């Protein structure tokens, strides 16, 4: 069954999105670095390996003779980004570092451009200063930036201020290709256009995909179950919330003997209260939807019976069962004290590279087997790429975005998997297949992109209900929340009407 299931899922992935290219040898994890405020990307002569382009994997339609000789593409980026993404000074033998270097060198070589990266703070706490820098740039004439690379929430803010362009106006952008997530067009296009985009182009997009990590040794010890059996459930679409609950039942052990559920004990699931969002997205639920006319509307999912049922299951699992711990998660899992952890891939390189046990990855569980596909949301710490409305070199900038995304798909994303899992992506292990499934299941809920405009209610309503064990009183808040959200969405839609 396992081999048949793997063949089926491999064919499905190939047919829908095509696997990521094979590249990058296994190396030690790269450290987190902060680039200097202003520098040019490597422009020296380098050997650029793109063997993946010669395979049967998805190919780009960028014309091979397209040139912008002598053009400098100026890029403003947030320099307090969680993980290296935009450029590195040189190759150092670390797989992700070197893949970023080669990507930029390839763009410069193929188009004959120079990439000039200028950094400024722009994380959650520095959004306003980044937005102001972008807005001010549009007044700078020939000195304006061509591309803005900002923290995820800044994309919607800049769009509503009219300083970004619709990327679909440029034929070179191939949003139907696997280096751009499917949901970018189906769920995150606004007002009929794409004013901000992310995907393989952002290393932090890959780092921020929510997934389930499990302890293979503990699975065998507690349930006499091999990891392959769990992978088979995932391959066959049977990795569900009920299955997660079943496997956590009875796992609690008071290891430190203090008669209190504490950090010294063993659990079936550990997940902190800021990571409840993926259960909502994983169940196929959304908060805001884009209507046919391009406007935003509150989704019926938010206060549906399915959401109430989901809350009841989660509240029982996380608060009542005794088999879960929500005060701290990552250190407990790293210490071998939990069977499952829900978090993002980047914590693997941060905490799990030297564990004394074997671990694997799975998608966020479905709500039930009737749900057709796995779904996962993203943590907020990734990058939205935008084309400035005042870009002096708009055609070259759009081409640069497309080629950066394609080269990242070929080389950087596989390197990220190898760095995290200490496995060769090319070997297509169970975890490599799961990585593909998780990446393909990313669901961009437009509400999360408009988090600031929605006063954080894009996530806080559901998250607070889980955290407060408030499934029973959830519906009682419906009218108040709907009134507030509908007013905020109306304000956003009024702004969107003036964009085109």
Q: How many CB atoms lie within 10 A of CB 321?
A: 18
Same domain? For 345 and 254 the reply is yes
296 pLDDT above the threshold of 50: yes
10 located within any domain: no
55 pLDDT above the threshold of 80: no
How far apart are the C-alpha atoms of 166 and 500, rounded to whole Å?
Answer: 10
How far apart are the C-alpha atoms of 324 and 319, rounded to whole Å?
Answer: 7
**Residue 291 — φ and ψ, nearest 5°?**
-80, 170
Query: What is the mean predicted confidence (pLDDT) over 406-421?
Result: 92
pLDDT-wise least confident of 55-59, 228-232, 482-486: 55-59
Say which residue the tokens 């760095």 belong to: 419
Say which residue the tokens 């004290």 belong to: 337
How far apart are the C-alpha atoms of 457 and 460, rounded to whole Å?
Answer: 5
43 located within any domain: yes
- CATH classification at residue 33: 3.40.190.10
495 pLDDT above the threshold of 60: yes
As beta bridge partners, residue 359 has: 215
Decide: 408 and 439 in contact? Cβ < 8 Å: no
Over the chain, what is the mean pLDDT? 89
Same domain? For 178 and 315 the reply is no
Token pair of 114 as six digits? 């120079």
As beta bridge partners, residue 277 has: none
22 pLDDT above the threshold of 90: no
422 pLDDT tier (thresholds 50, 70, 90): confident
Query: What is the mean predicted confidence (pLDDT) over 281-295?
Result: 92
500 located within any domain: no
Question: How many structural domains is the chain composed of?
Answer: 2
496 located within any domain: no
Query: What is the mean predicted confidence (pLDDT) over 39-47?
Result: 41
How far apart are the C-alpha atoms of 383 and 405, rounded to whole Å?
Answer: 12
414 located within any domain: yes
47 pLDDT above the threshold of 50: no
**Residue 197 — φ and ψ, nearest 5°?**
-145, 155
Same domain? For 65 and 185 the reply is yes
Same domain? For 63 and 184 the reply is yes
How far apart are the C-alpha atoms of 229 and 449, rounded to whole Å?
Answer: 37
Residue 57's pLDDT is what?
A: 66
Per-residue pLDDT reduced to its tens digit, 435-492 = 999 999 998 889 999 999 999 999 999 999 999 999 999 999 999 999 999 999 999 9
Examine the fold and report which residue of 426, 459, 494 is the final residue of a domain before the chain moves on: 426
Residue 292's pLDDT is what?
A: 86
Residue 500's pLDDT is what?
A: 62
Task: Give the domain extent around 158.
Answer: 21-207+380-426
Decide: 115 and 107 in contact? Cβ < 8 Å: yes
Same domain? For 243 and 385 the reply is no
488 located within any domain: no
411 located within any domain: yes
185 pLDDT tier (thresholds 50, 70, 90): confident
Same domain? For 123 and 220 the reply is no
Same domain? For 421 and 450 the reply is no
Same domain? For 38 and 166 the reply is yes
For the chain, give percent helix, strand, coil, nearest 5: 45, 15, 45
Residue 11's pLDDT is what?
A: 45
Element (DSSP H or E) covering residue 490: helix 478-496
Decide: 181 and 197 in contact? Cβ < 8 Å: no
26 pLDDT above the threshold of 50: no
263 pLDDT above the threshold of 90: yes
Residue 452's pLDDT is what?
A: 95
222 located within any domain: yes
As beta bridge partners, residue 442 has: 376
How far apart are the C-alpha atoms of 235 and 432, rounded to whole Å?
Answer: 12
Nearest Cα neighbor of 236 from 493, 451, 437 is: 437
Highest mean pLDDT among 327-336, 351-360, 413-422: 327-336
How far apart are the C-alpha atoms of 225 and 247, rounded to whole Å?
Answer: 10
Same domain? For 119 and 175 the reply is yes
Same domain? For 311 and 369 the reply is yes
Contacts of 62 (CB under 8 A, 6+ apart): 110, 172, 399, 402, 403, 406
Same domain? For 239 and 273 the reply is yes
Element (DSSP H or E) covering residue 109: helix 95-111
Same domain? For 458 and 418 the reply is no
Strands 147-151 and 383-387: antiparallel
pTM of the shown model: 0.88
């Amino acid at each position: 069954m396992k081999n048949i299931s793997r063949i089926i899922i491999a064919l499905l992935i190939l047919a829908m999105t095509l696997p990521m290219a094979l590249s990058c040898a296994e190396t030690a994890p790269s450290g987190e670095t902060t680039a200097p405020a202003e520098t040019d990307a490597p422009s020296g002569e380098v050997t650029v390996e793109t063997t993946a382009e010669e395979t049967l994997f998805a190919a780009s339609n960028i014309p091979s003779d397209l040139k912008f000789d002598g053009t400098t593409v100026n890029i403003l980026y947030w320099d307090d980004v969680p993980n290296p993404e935009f450029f590195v000074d040189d190759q150092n033998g670390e797989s992700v570092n070197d893949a970023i270097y080669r990507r930029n060198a390839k763009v410069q070589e193929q188009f004959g451009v120079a990439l000039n990266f200028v950094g400024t703070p722009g994380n959650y706490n520095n959004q306003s200063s980044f937005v102001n820098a972008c807005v001010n740039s549009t007044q700078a004439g020939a000195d304006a930036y061509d591309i803005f690379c900002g923290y995820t929430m800044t994309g919607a803010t800049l769009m509503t201020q009219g300083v970004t362009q619709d990327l679909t106006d440029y034929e070179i952008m191939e949003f139907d290709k696997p280096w751009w997530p499917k949901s970018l067009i189906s769920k995150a296009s606004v007002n009929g256009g794409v004013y901000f985009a992310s995907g393989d182009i952002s290393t932090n997009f890959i780092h921020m995909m929510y997934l389930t990590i499990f302890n293979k040794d503990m699975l065998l010890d507690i349930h006499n179950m091999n990891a392959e059996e769990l992978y088979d459930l995932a391959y066959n679409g049977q990795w569900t919330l009920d299955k997660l609950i079943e496997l956590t039942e009875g796992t609690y052990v008071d290891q430190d003997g203090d008669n209190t559920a504490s950090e010294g004990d063993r659990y079936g699931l550990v997940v902190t209260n800021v990571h409840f969002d993926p259960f909502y997205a994983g169940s196929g639920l959304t908060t805001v939807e884009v209507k046919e006319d391009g406007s935003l509307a509150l989704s019926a999912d938010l206060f549906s019976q399915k959401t109430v049922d989901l809350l009841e299951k989660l509240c029982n699992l996380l608060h009542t069962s005794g088999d879960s711990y929500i005060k701290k998660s990552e250190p407990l899992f790293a210490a071998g004290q939990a069977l499952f952890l829900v978090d993002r891939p980047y914590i693997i390189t941060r905490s799990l590279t030297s564990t004394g046990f074997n671990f694997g990855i799975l998608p966020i569980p479905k709500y039930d087997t009737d749900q057709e596909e796995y779904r996962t949301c993203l943590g907020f710490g990734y990058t939205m790429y935008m084309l400035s409305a005042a870009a002096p070199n708009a055609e070259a900038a759009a081409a640069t975005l497309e080629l950066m995304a394609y080269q990242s798909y070929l080389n950087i994303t596989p390197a990220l998997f190898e760095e995290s899992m200490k496995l060769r992506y090319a070997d297509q292990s169970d975890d490599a297949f799961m990585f593909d499934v998780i990446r393909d299941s990313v669901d961009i809920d437009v509400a999360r992109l408009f988090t600031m405009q929605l006063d954080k209610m894009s996530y806080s309503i559901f998250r607070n209900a889980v955290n407060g064990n408030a499934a029973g009183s959830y519906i009682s808040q419906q009218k108040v929340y709907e009134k507030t959200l509908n007013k905020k969405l109306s304000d956003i839609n009024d702004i969107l009407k003036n964009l085109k």
